[in-house]
Amino acid sequence: MNLKDKVILITGASGGIGRELAKVLAKEECKIVLLARRGPELISIESELKLINPDVFAMKCDVSSRQNVKAVVHLSRELFKKIDIAILNAGVSFKTDPNNFDSTLAEEIFDTNVLGVIYFFEELIPEFKKNGGMFVGISSLADGRGFPKSGLYCASKAAVTLFLESQRIELKPFNIKVLTVKPGFVRTAMTAKNEFKMPFLMDAEKAAKIILKGIKKEKRIIQFPWQTVLGAKILKLMPDFLFDKFAAKQRKITLPKGR
């Protein structure tokens, strides 16, 4: 796929993978709408990229708000007359703690990671049905098992993966493509909070280049690195009692005897 003159929305564009994706896309002569909650960071990346590509515009957006999403999609249409690709990258994660379990964290994670994807589908499907289009949803290789201390995040990414899979099939007759991106560990502000070992940790810049390559090839599933992909497949097939021991060891949790 040639991305020249395509209008591309990127959520979560103020940092991490989203920011690096914006940088590599700016060189593709496409038109870019940067969306994020963090205003100062958003202005910073917009100013940086306008030196490369004048057709880069930033809009503050909380993807967990249906009205916010509706408004930025409307403004993007007014600005560029169309939207071709939506890269739905915004995401949050919080460590869970059985000694202080807080459902408000679940609300924030699912509102951002899951509904923040669904709201864009709702707004863009009618337009994409007329003109064609592409959704690129950022899920995770953590979608296959429930890892201790990351249960809410894993559950949200499992929901995203299955939602994208269903939409890929449903929307294909309308010439709407749905791509699922499943990275392993990527060096971002989010993963910097992790207290466990992260094998094959990758720089966000490298991850962005892999994702861009997959978008151009219109790959249904873009997953990387291969070592973590293989590991995730093994863990998914692993018997529950073995997974319990493995995951507890990785997250430094002591299981009762007999487990």
**What residues act catalytically?**
153
User: What φ, ψ does residue 157 adopt, rounded to 5°?
Assistant: -75, -35
Q: Letter for the amino acid at 84?
A: D
Distance CA 35, CA 41 (A): 11
Is-contact 96 149, C-beta < 8 A?
A: yes
Strands across the sheet with 221-224, in order? 56-60, 31-36, 7-11, 85-88, 133-138, 176-183, 221-224
Token pair 């920011």: residue: 19
Token pair 């992790």: residue: 194
**Could you tell me which residues are beta bridge partners of residue 178?**
135
Is-contact 138 183, C-beta < 8 A?
A: yes
Distance CA 66, CA 86 (A): 16
- Which segments within the chain are labelled E, that is strand? 7-11, 31-36, 56-60, 85-88, 133-138, 176-183, 186-187, 202-203, 221-224
The single-letter DSSP state of residue 255 is P
